[in-house]
Amino acid sequence: MKPDVVLKIKEEWDAGFLAVSNYPQWVANIVPVPKKDRKVRMCVDYRDLNRASPKDNFPLPHIDMLVDNTACHAFFSFMDGFSGYNQILMAEEDREKTTFVTL
């Protein structure tokens, strides 16, 4: 699986989704997960970061309410599933928290 993970990291680096972080305060591990098509999904284990992060005290809206709110509108926007996580710009001060090991 290692060559698949290296390839995925290279793809994300080439796309500009990754940057080098020297001496970060937070570091997570890569978790390669095999997919049914024999490819590998590169996941990152952020459980420690999640435990240290403040919890949201408000519920997310239900999907039926979101769909109902789109009635009578001419334009809709959807995220691309290929790079969905990488389409929302992260605050500069939070980027270091998403550091993962690539050794």
What pLDDT, in 10s, does the model give residues 14-56? 988 889 999 999 999 999 999 899 888 889 999 999 999 998 8
The model's pTM: 0.67
- Reported as type and span, the H/E element at residue 94 is helix 92-95
**What percent of the residues of the chain are helix, what percent strand, and what percent coil, each to the nearest 5?**
35, 15, 50
Q: Does domain 2-98 have CATH number 3.10.10?
A: yes
Structural tokens at position 36: 């049914």
- Reported as type and span, the H/E element at residue 3 is helix 2-14
Residues 45-99: pLDDT tens digits? 999 999 999 988 887 778 888 888 888 877 766 655 555 666 678 898 998 999 9
Q: For the chain, which residues make up each domain, given as ranges? A: 2-98
- Looking up tokens 């009578």, which residue turns up? 72
Which pLDDT score, from 0 to 100, does residue 31 have?
A: 92
> From CA 1, how far away is CA 12, in angstroms rounded?
17
